[in-house]
Amino acid sequence: MSCLEMFLYDVVYTLVKVGQTYESRFSDNGDGTFTNPFIWGDFPDVDIIRVDGDYYMVCSSFCLTPGIPISHSQDLVNWQIIGYAYEKLDYADIYNMPNGSSLYNGGAWAPSIRYYDGKFHIFYFDNLGFFVTCISAKPEGPYERRFITNYSLFDPGVFFDDDGRVYVSHGSGAIYITELSSDFRRVVTPAREIYKSPNETLEGSHVYKRNGWYYICNPSGARDGREYIMRSKNIYGPYESRLVISSVMNYAYNGLHQGGFIDLPNGDSWFFIFQDHDSAGRPPNLFPIEWKDDWPVLKQDNTTTDGQVQPTYRKPATNVTVAPISPMHSDEFSSPILNLEWQWSLTERPGFMRLHATAGRILKETRNTLVKRLIGPTMSGRTVIDLSNLEDGDVAGLAMWNLPYAYIGVLKQSGRLIPAMVNQDEVIEAAQPLTNDQIHFKITTNDRSFASFYYSIDNETTYTKLGNELQLVLTVNTFLGSRFGLFCYHIGNGTSGFADFDYLRLESPVGPANHFDASQPINITYYDTEYSIIPQRSFDNVQSLISNTSGAWTCFNNLNFSQGANLFQVSAKVMSSQQGMIEIRRDRFDGEILGECPIQNIQPGDFKFYNTTITPVSGVQKICLVFTGQGGGFFEIRDFQFFFIRERNL
């Protein structure tokens, strides 16, 4: 078979579909490796500590309550939420949303967690002027709160020195050190500027002491961020600074930034850090470091990588075997207490979540929306609602919550129940009024960060798409990633009712992070390891890559050829008048060649399908794609897949 654009008019081929679904993607590959992000969901501004053999993580929650989720792990890869630092933001009236007002980007920013003198301490700064300390003997809480008011400690990194003195590194632009009292109720030594870069705007401090050195980790930049570390023998300096990492990993244009490091009992060190990821917010990532002259540097295999953070690594050597854990789960509302993944009893109607309609003109003003994180790269959420107790003016449904947001819901008006899809408070499309008082809703998201909205009136036999798509973005309006939301609110001053939600069920075609059905299209940027490639992203959020040099490669560790394959297909675009070649290799970038596919300059500027026959393969294989040519950047690739071809005379 010739290796040209794929026009298989003379063959019949069989697509192999595995078809298994999961609740959400999880990073543990089950083979001793994990794939970043270690949670493909919104856990922004993470801080992690180790207490003996246990690891605890906190992250920003901003306006959401309960606030500051506390997660636990024994291997730094599989995490579960075990509690929250507080139940409510009850120290400022704006968080009660009086008269339709709101502060969606307020609340808990960039928390810091430390374990000292037998207690867990969580610190955060609210830009309304509150520095808050949460203290508990148990990691899951409950926590006592203490306040310092009217003193700016932005993005605090808190450090307990060997003598018990408490220091906070904070600031944006210039970095300061402030000393606090041991009861965290007052400032002992006012802010002293210790570092200001002439070229970078630093913030997001994480403070450590190691081998007699004080270290402060700071990011610079936003989406295109990078991470610096500075050190000194004195907490007040002078400090010298170095770049830790400048890498987009496999998500084009968005740099890894804002994190810190953690030392394992065996002496290994790992750096944790987040990356802006549009629909999923700011997922956390993990990569190994080593120490050279008391500076942390990326630990890498110099024979196979080129100084970039890789998506897939061996799991940290914590000497604990943990079964892979899905970071987000469906909820049947069968317990009288909500599971901790929700940011929001279930006693009025057992087995259902009952939401009473609170006053609000639009969803943004609704105070009782129940939200759960979206986990990337693709996921769907569905629910069924009993509408029999809605009153005129009530609106209930399923939202893709953030700012901007959209939802599919039902408005009760003049006694009629009218399904509608609403995008940013504009009714995009309405369906015919319901003839019963139950409806199913579903929202699906794709790996391009778009959400679609569906309803079913025949008990999920069929779903009908309604309205348009919502592009999911991460903005300063909330600083949060997208979430599924259950809501019920009331327009006007009339009598309000309530809606009963039977469940929220989550589904994802992705389970173990980088395990793929080889017969389905695989985005080229979902590689495990790479050498000398550059991720790209189009205006409509389609990921691709270009090779930087002849001999560049990507490897995919777990491709499932469940019924075999003998043909390779790739979507590629020629970048110049030169032609290139893709070598399909087994096990390594220099392993057995299964096939070679020329990428020809047939029609520059457009993506085309190219294919080649390969040595038949079956089972689970590690496949590497090696890109060769006469110069760098000779073609751009979006996705690839494999087929099993049975030829016959037609």
Residue 493 and residue 525 in one domain: no
Mean pLDDT of 268-277: 95
- Name the residue with higher pLDDT: 101 or 413: 413
Given the DSSP bridges, would you call strands 426-430 and 370-373 parallel, antiparallel or unpaired? unpaired
The whole-number pLDDT of residue 446 equals: 93
Residue 14 confidence (pLDDT) = 31
d(CA 325, CA 74): 12
Single out the residue of 391, 276, 307, 297 nearest to residue 42, CA to CA. 276
Which of 28, 42, 45, 47 is labelled catalytic? 45
Looking at 310, 341, 365, which one is the last position of a domain? 310
Q: Which two tokens stand for residue 626?
A: 């090696």
How close are the terminal C-alpha atoms of the chain, in Å?
16
- Count of positions (residues) in the chain: 650
Q: Verify that 498 and 530 share a domain, yes or no.
A: no
Taking residues 252-273, report their average pLDDT. 95
**pLDDT computed for residue 24 by the predictor:** 93
Please give the helix or strand (H or E) that residue 400 lies within, else none: strand 394-401
- List the CATH number of the domain containing 78: 2.115.10.20
Secondary structure of 191-236 in HEC code, one letter for each residue: EEEEEECCCCCECCCEEEEECCEEEEEEEECCCCCEEEEEEECCCC
The CATH number of residue 613's host domain is 2.60.120.260
CB 623 within 8 A of CB 596: no
562 lies in the same domain as 490: no
The answer on 257 and 152 residing in a single domain is: yes
Tell me the average pLDDT across 14-24. Answer: 63
Asked whether residue 548 is assigned to any structural domain, the reply reads yes
Angle 505-508-511 from CA coordinates, rounded to 5°: 120
Of 310, 334, 369, the residue at which a domain comes to its end is: 310
Residue ranges of alpha helices (H) inside 246-310 are none
pLDDT at 316 over 60: yes
pLDDT of residue 575: 72
Q: What's the pLDDT tens digit per position in 348-392? A: 788 899 999 999 999 998 888 999 999 999 999 999 999 999 999
In a shared domain, residues 629 and 571: yes
**Average pLDDT rounded to a whole number, residues 529-553:** 88
What's the helix, strand, coil split of the chain in %, to 5? 0, 50, 50
Same domain, 191 and 289: yes
pLDDT at 5: 33
Within-domain flag for 319: no
Average per-residue pLDDT in the chain? 90
How many domains does the chain divide into?
Answer: 3
> 619 and 551 in one domain?
yes
Query: Residue 530, SS3?
Result: strand
Distances (CA, A) of 440 to 333, 453, 454, 465: 16, 11, 8, 12
CATH code: domain of residue 486: 2.60.120.200
129 and 245 in a single domain? The answer is yes
Contact indicator for 10, 60 with CB cutoff of 8 Å = no
Distance CA 444, CA 380 (A): 4
Statement: residue 631 has pLDDT above 60: no
Looking at residue 117, its pLDDT comes to 96
pLDDT tops 70 at residue 61:
yes
Whether residue 635 is contained in a domain is answered as yes
- Indicate whether 74 and 190 sit together in one domain: yes
User: What per-residue confidence (pLDDT) applies to 586?
Assistant: 97
The amino acid occupying position 229 is I
Residues whose CB is less than 8 angstroms from the CB of residue 246 and which lie 6 or more positions away in sequence, other chains included: 226, 227, 255
Q: Is 45 a catalytic residue?
A: yes
Cα separation, 563 vs 557, whole angstroms = 18
Q: Which of 250, 281, 310 is the last residue of a domain?
A: 310
Active-site annotation holds for 203 = yes
- Whether residue 30 is contained in a domain is answered as no
| Options 42, 47, 155, 203, the catalytic residue | 203
Is residue 5, in this structure, part of any structural domain at all? no
**pTM to 2 decimal places:** 0.91
Tell me what pLDDT residue 17 has.
Answer: 41
> Is 72 within a domain?
yes
**What pLDDT is recorded for position 4?**
32
What pLDDT score does 308 carry? Answer: 82
**SS3 label, residue 177:** strand
Residue 632, pLDDT above cutoff 80: no
Q: Residue 11's pLDDT band (boundaries 50, 70, 90)?
A: very low
Judged against a pLDDT cut of 80, whether residue 50 lies above it is answered with yes
Output the pLDDT for position 296. 96
53 touches 322 (CB < 8 A): no
- State whether 122 and 270 are in the same domain: yes
H or E segment and range at residue 464: strand 464-465
Residue type for 118, please? Answer: G
What's the pLDDT at 418? Answer: 98
pLDDT above 70 covers what percent of the chain? 92
Q: Is residue 613 a part of any domain in this protein?
A: yes
Q: Are residue 147 and residue 83 in the same domain, yes or no?
A: yes
Q: What range does the domain containing 53 cover?
A: 42-310
Is 173 a residue whose pLDDT tops 80? yes
Q: What is the pLDDT of residues 218-238, one digit of tens each?
A: 999 878 889 999 999 999 999
For residues 499 and 601, state if they share a domain.
no
User: Is residue 490 within 8 Å of 118, Cβ to Cβ?
Assistant: no
Residue 539 within any structural domain of the chain: yes
Alpha helices in 329-476 (DSSP H): none
